[in-house]
Amino acid sequence: MDIRKVVIPVAGWGTRSLPATKNIPKEMLPVFRKPVVQYVVEEAIGAGLNDVVLITNQNKTIIEDHFDHNLLLENLLERSGKTELLKEVRRVAEMVNIIAVRQKQQLGLGHAVLCAKEVCKDEPFAVMVGDDLMFGLGCGIEQLIEAAGAENMAVVGVIEVPEDKVSKYGIVQGEEFAPGMYRVRDLVEKPAVDKAPSRLAIVGRYVLLPEIFDHLERQEPGVGGEIQLTDALKGLASSNKLLAVKLRGQRFDAGDWVEYLTANIYFALQDEELRYDLVKRLRELVPC
């Protein structure tokens, strides 16, 4: 399956991260040295996706700017001989092609994906939700692209979550036909604990075929009055056209403060220059 485009919806308000996100898009909050969205884009590049369709709004243009040249800054770095920084800033500007599509009303994740219809047309495409950070070699969206190609089908990424967390996610009911691979029979968006069919939660990684747009166009609002992608996927599940793949690797939910802060420490600990001082300082704060 030839997949080149990744749709990244970034038009949400990020209320979970207020007041930090009052005037900064949540996707631009830094995790260690880079904004959250750059990790998502780098995961996409690692899977061979170089065309990024940002589903955006009028307050989010700095996300597009991040993946473009800033000539004033580049000139300044050049003049002051900061060649390593200059190289890095230019690398980010050139890493992907950005296609920005305005989501003029925030009507839900399903609606955001539907906004990509004219760009994706009849191609299969990936969807990555900017809050979910996934790490590990060959993990995340790459795993889904492999499964979608092998089975010629749409795929959602799932992880197992504790019972008290099921109501935060779309939950999948499926039959495991190979280790970590499920044929999806049904899905429920944010079920109550006693209504959840399993503990397999959808994380923000999907590979979809263009037929999803027909389902989304017909989709009525669901949980929270929003057009839910999960509800549109039910149509695929009922005709046996949807797989779920258990994702390997490390995952952080950047919209949750504990997870966000842990992600910062996780990356900082991998930096040889910082690790020693950071651990020393953390031990002073939390003696054990």
Burial annotation 127-157 (CB, 10 A radius, 16+ → b, else e): bbbbbbbbbeeebbbbbbbbbbeebebbbbb
Contact between 170 and ligand G1P by CB under 6 A: the answer reads: yes
- Stretch 217-246 residues interacting with ligand G1P (CB under 6 A): 228-230
Question: Which residues, 190 to 209, sit near ligand G1P by CB under 6 A?
Answer: 201-204
With CB under 6 A as the rule, give the number of residues binding ligand G1P: 14
103 or 268: CB nearest ligand G1P = 103
* Closer residue to ligand G1P (CB): 92 or 253: 253
Rounded distance between C-alpha atoms, residue 16 and residue 257, angstroms: 9
* 136 touches 206 (CB < 8 A): no
| Smallest separation, CB 158 to ligand G1P (Å) | 9
Q: 181-189 and 30-31 as β-strands: parallel, antiparallel, unpaired?
A: unpaired
The phi, psi pair for 46, rounded to 5°, reads -60, -25
State which of positions 123-142 bind ligand G1P (CB under 6 A). Answer: 129, 131-132
Q: Name the nearest CA neighbour of 172 among 184, 190, 160.
A: 184
Asked if 144 is part of the footprint of ligand G1P (rule: CB under 6 A), the reply reads no
Whose Cβ is closer to ligand G1P: residue 172's or residue 268's? 172
CA distance 278 to 288: 15
Shortest reach from residue 191's CB to ligand G1P, in Å:
10
Question: Using the rule CB under 6 A, is 169 a contact of ligand G1P?
Answer: yes
Residues that bind ligand G1P (CB under 6 A): 109, 129, 131-132, 169-170, 189, 201-204, 228-230
